[in-house]
């Protein structure tokens, strides 16, 4: 089963740095068994999409507005993302919730709008450290899914990938154990299957994924890939993670 490996560059790289990164990356490999998706900052999307033409790698945004156009100073619409060469968009990332106050309802509206523009969604869910300590992570995640996807039709789920990202593991170097990640990804799949009658949802793990832990995570049957932050900014390191997925 081929894996999905998505890179979340966050607020890193200027367009010229992205072009350099993409050249180095393509010098190593152009075609992948896995689905490789780069999510650079908005300003790098168009140039990276142009650069990656001819490769099987895809491009995504890290956020978008829920309208296609209008008086929303500083915002980027899903239509603009699509027209810039993106096929994916990350929505619901915990950094958007923490620093920009995004609610589950708002994320739900963004998902609807992005789907209407033929974008695939990487929808992030995850518990914080306190919730994990109280052992309420399952109900926290189920509530996030229910509240965010309440207006999503069953047939729209085929274009949604869920990324399970425990907040305490993001950017901290404290990755969850592969067994814990497997348990959570399976729980999410079982919930979607039971409540939305959709058995094909893909669930990625994200949070301190590196070349050193990638193989053990990818061996797990219910982990369909990874959303990689910090480690995706280094071409060598990211290629090792992709190779770990392709050699399973």
Applying CB under 6 A, the span of 46-54, 103-111, 128-136, 202-210 interacting with ligand PGA comes to 202-210
Let me know: does 137 contact 166? Beta carbons within 8 Å: yes
Q: Which residues of 114-142 are buried (b: 16+ CB within 10 A; e: fewer)?
A: bbebebbbbbbbbbeeebbeeeebeebbe
Q: Which of these ranges, 27-35, 107-115, 191-199, 221-229, lies near ligand PGA under the rule CB under 6 A?
A: 221-229
**Catalytic annotation on 198?**
no
Using the minimum distance from each CB to ligand PGA, give the nearer residue, 79 or 176: 176
Under the phi-then-psi rule, with left for phi > 0, alpha for psi from -120 to 50, and beta for the rest, what region is 16?
A: alpha
First-residue to last-residue Cα distance in the chain: 9
- For ligand PGA, the closer of residues 6 and 80 by Cβ is 6
Q: Which of 225, 207, 206, 203 is nearest to 215 (CA)?
A: 225
> In this structure, what token pair is assigned to residue 193?
């299957």
Q: How far is the CB of 171 from ligand PGA (least distance, A)?
A: 4
- In whole angstroms, what is the distance from residue 30 CA to residue 72 CA? 37
Known catalytic residue at 120: no
The single residue of 65, 93, 95, 182 carrying the catalytic annotation is 93
DSSP string, 179-211: HHHHHHHHHHHHHHHHHH-----EEEEESS--H
Nearer to ligand PGA, 8 or 18 (CB): 8
The residue written with tokens 């367009």 in the block is 15
Which of these is catalytic: 95, 127, 131, 165?
165
Binding flags for ligand PGA, 167-186, as an x/- string (CB under 6 A): ---xx---------------
Binder among 58, 229, 238, 244 for ligand PGA (CB under 6 A): 229
Q: Is 228 in the site for ligand PGA (CB under 6 A)?
A: yes
208 touches ligand PGA (CB under 6 A): yes
110 contacts 91 by C-beta, under 8 angstroms:
yes
224 binds ligand PGA (CB under 6 A): no
In the complex, the smallest distance separating the C-beta of residue 115 from ligand PGA, rounded to whole angstroms, is: 21
Q: Which tokens belong to 104?
A: 């589950």
* Residue with the two structure tokens 């033409």: 53
Distance CA 141, CA 155 (A): 21
Q: How far is the CB of 111 from ligand PGA (least distance, A)?
A: 17
Candidate list 209, 214, 244, 245; residue touching ligand PGA; CB under 6 A: 209
Residues that bind ligand PGA (CB under 6 A): 8, 165, 170-171, 206-209, 227-231
Q: Which residues are catalytic?
A: 93, 165
């Amino acid at each position: 089963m081929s894996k999905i490996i998505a890179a979340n560059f966050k607020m890193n790289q200027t367009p010229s740095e992205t072009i350099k990164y993409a050249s180095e990356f393509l010098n190593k490999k152009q075609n992948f068994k896995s689905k490789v998706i780069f999510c650079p900052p908005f300003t790098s999307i168009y140039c990276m999409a142009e650069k990656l033409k001819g490769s099987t790698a895809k491009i995504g945004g890290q956020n978008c507005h829920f309208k296609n156009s209008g008086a929303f100073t500083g915002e980027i619409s899903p239509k603009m993302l699509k027209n810039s060469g993106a096929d994916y968009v990350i929505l619901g990332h915990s950094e958007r919730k923490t620093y920009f106050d995004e609610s589950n309802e708002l994320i739900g509206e963004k998902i609807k709008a992005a789907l209407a523009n033929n974008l695939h969604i990487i929808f992030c869910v995850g518990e914080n450290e306190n919730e994990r300590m109280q052992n309420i992570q399952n109900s926290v995640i189920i509530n996030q899914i229910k509240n965010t996807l309440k207006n999503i039709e069953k047939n729209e789920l085929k274009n949604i990938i869920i990324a399970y990202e425990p907040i305490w593991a993001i950017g901290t170097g404290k990755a969850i154990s592969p067994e814990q990640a497997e348990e959570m990804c399976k729980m999410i799949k079982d919930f979607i299957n039971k409540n939305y009658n959709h058995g094909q949802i893909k669930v990625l793990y994200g949070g301190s994924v590196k070349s050193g832990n990638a193989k053990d995570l990818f061996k797990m049957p219910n982990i369909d890939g990874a959303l990689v932050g910090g480690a995706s900014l280094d071409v060598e390191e990211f290629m090792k993670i992709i190779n770990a997925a392709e050699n399973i």
